A and B are shown apart, each in its own frame.
Chain A
Amino acid sequence: MNIDLFATLIALLTFFGIAALMAISLNLEYGVAGIPNFGQALFVSIGAYTTGVTYTRLLPLLAGQEAINPCGATLAPALQLRSEIMRTMPAVGLGNFVLTLLIAAVIGGVVGYAVSYIILRLKQEWYLALVLLVGGETVRIFVRGYQPIVCANNGISGIAGPFAWVGNTQTASILFALLVLAFAGAAYWYSEKLARSPYGRLLKAVRENEQVARSLGKNVARIRAQVMLIGSAIAAISGVLFALNIGFVSTNDYVVTLTLDVWVMVVLGGLGNNRGALLGALLITLMDRATAITAIQLNRLGTDIEFNYFRYILFGVILLLMLRYRPRGLLPETRFTTPAHQYLARSQETGDARSP
């Protein structure tokens, strides 16, 4: 064993940050607003496919050059062009990165809003779940079959992060990790503010009892659509970072398993709880690496048994144990009180209705 602890740490932090974004997005949608979004793969893939398109068509334009078709015969020159731009023109690279994030967030948000508006009017809520799950796969099959976007099933390589111009690889990876963590932090901060605000309490009221909320005159469908917009935008941003982290955009990565992984993170960590979402993301990221290392070691023993299968079995067993013994997750949902509650609590203690 020759573990490079520092590199492992940076890598884990990067994966954790990306997973955290996905988990926070789902927690916002399901934990806070009660929308069962089984379409993470779809929204994350929107971010990733956008990245594929912007880095091949937009990036050269920003650098004042002509875009080369990244598929087919001109693959190598196109790749060389974008690698060179990312390496030598940091401002252009950064500009393209920012634009990618914006475009991805907008597209993701709009799709989320549109989808939810149509479906949230239906009677049974889990229809949304199944339609999104299945819709994600349908989009994947179509993107896989047509040339534009990501060159059908070939994928687009050479999607470098915004720090590709930094000479030292380690520095670049540290910077990227910090960037990802910054995004995760921002999303966390935003979600917390949202959850604690009156708007957030409204969402929880809607989640708890839809009829009551509707009777109070709140337009339930519109509120939920707004939440889907925000959540989907966050998921799309996570997709951009996910693609940049690997450096390759392919439809093979955005399958149903991704959606289910994010659900496990949120259920594990604690529903309706942003800290829980972070904890879930952390646990899954750590478990993935730890089980991989364990499987490496066990396979070295030289038996005929393929230990990599045990990773999945272990994952399933842990999930079942969690669902059985901690169905609300590891961290309980925090209860927010308003100033009115606090006043009431204090006055009950002191028996005096006047003092603050």
Chain B
Amino acid sequence: MTVTLLVDSLVRSVQVGSLYALMAIGLTLTMNVVRLPNFAHAEYITIGAYTALIVSLGVSSNPLLILGAAFLVTALVALGSHHAVFRPLEKHRTSTYTMLLASFAVGLILRYIVFLLADYFELFDRRIQIPLEVWYRSSVVILTNIFFWVVPTSIGLVIAFSLLLNRTPLGREMRALANNFDLARIIGIRVGRVVNLTWLLVGGLAGVAGALWGLYTSVNPLIGWFAILSVFAAAILGGLSSFPGTILGAYLVGLSENTLMQILNVTIGLDFSFKPAIPFIIIILVLLFRPQGFTEFLRSNRGLRR
């Protein structure tokens, strides 16, 4: 395999992996603090992408403004979904499968509202209007401004989130909630406030991820739904509890979808049309043989569970 092919696929893996990481930590956070496998996370991503699109088409081309808008709008949608649906259900002590179905229903509603609006305003497969420029060129690799927007922003947000979780009082409260919900309430943590802020954070991160993902590809109402299984794979690799594990998992998924796929294609002629199966196979293998994923390898206190 040529060097260019390898280097290029590694660049892509990093790009995609960073985006998956940003999408996956929100999912892991939801699973831990709120105990909910949230299928509507896919729609948060889509809503972030559409917010970015609308802002870029109608208001401004400033990337900071676009990302900021995506963060805000999606954060509010996520908080809204919590108050409208998940909190009333939780009060009744419903089972995990009921919550899963509920999250699927919320996702359905959000997705088709987006479809309605996209259909009415003719916003299918439009591009976010940030002009493309090449910022680095060498003989083996070419990096565009999109790369420099996607990767540092994703990594930066992930690091910022890590810091928030480990260094701030709010982060401590989140971790306490994740460890033992009832105990946390007893020792006086204002559970409602923490949960609300968690949802805002989850939505915001997913929104920015969606905006960047839309920048990286193009925007349509199914953009989140098509990406969500890879995101679940990343979260599962992180054992659904460890953040470093999730981030590592995200890059692993990105790598297997790009570099591994490329290698398999060149060596054994595996067709690219099987690429969607890769995150699935990862999920199955991890759950069968090592369900805890990467949680025990990384012995840091950055996870939510000790």
| Chains A and B directly touch (beta carbon < 8 Å) | yes
A319 to B281, CA, bound (A): 30
A304 to B107, CA, bound (A): 24
Q: A145-B271, A324-B89 are in contact. Are A138 and B281 (CB under 8 A)?
A: yes
Q: From residue 92 to 128 of chain B, which have CB atoms closer than 8 A to chain A?
A: 92, 94, 96-98, 100-102, 104-109, 111-113, 115-116, 119-120
A218 to B269, CA, bound (A): 49
A42 to B276, CA, bound (A): 17
- Is there contact, CB below 8 Å, between A138 and B277? yes
A291 to B238, CA, bound (A): 42
Interface size class of B (residues with CB under 8 A): 35 or more
Interfacial chain B residues near A260, Cβ < 8 Å: 101, 104
Residue B288 is within 8 A (CB to CB) of chain A in the complex? yes
Residue B88 is within 8 A (CB to CB) of chain A in the complex? yes
Residue B273 is within 8 A (CB to CB) of chain A in the complex? yes
Interfacial chain A residues near B22, Cβ < 8 Å: none
A317 to B108, CA, bound (A): 9
Q: A145-B271, A145-B273, A323-B94 are in contact. Are A138 and B280 (CB under 8 A)?
A: yes
Interfacial chain B residues near A316, Cβ < 8 Å: 105-109, 112
Min distance, Cβ B66 to any Cβ of chain A, angstroms: 26
A166 to B113, CA, bound (A): 46
- Is there contact, CB below 8 Å, between B280 and A327? no
> In the complex, what residue of chain A is closest to B107 when comparing beta carbons?
A316
Min distance, Cβ A40 to any Cβ of chain B, angstroms: 14
Q: A134-B283, A138-B281, A323-B94 are in contact. Are A263 and B101 (CB under 8 A)?
A: yes
Residue A343 is within 8 A (CB to CB) of chain B in the complex? no
A319 to B101, CA, bound (A): 8
Min distance, Cβ B300 to any Cβ of chain A, angstroms: 23
Instruction: Return the CB mask of B37-54 against A: 1 if under 8 Å, else 0.
Output: 100000000000000000
Interfacial chain B residues near A267, Cβ < 8 Å: 98, 101
Q: From residue 116 to 146 of chain A, which have CB atoms closer than 8 A to chain B?
A: 118-119, 122-124, 126-127, 129-131, 134-135, 137-138, 141-142, 144-145
B interface residues (Cβ-Cβ under 8 A, vs A): 37, 85, 88-89, 92, 94, 96-98, 100-102, 104-109, 111-113, 115-116, 119-120, 229, 232, 236, 271, 273-274, 276-277, 280-281, 283-284, 287-288, 291
9 closest Cβ contacts across the A-B interface?
A316-B108, A316-B109, A319-B105, A312-B112, A316-B105, A138-B280, A134-B280, A141-B277, A309-B112
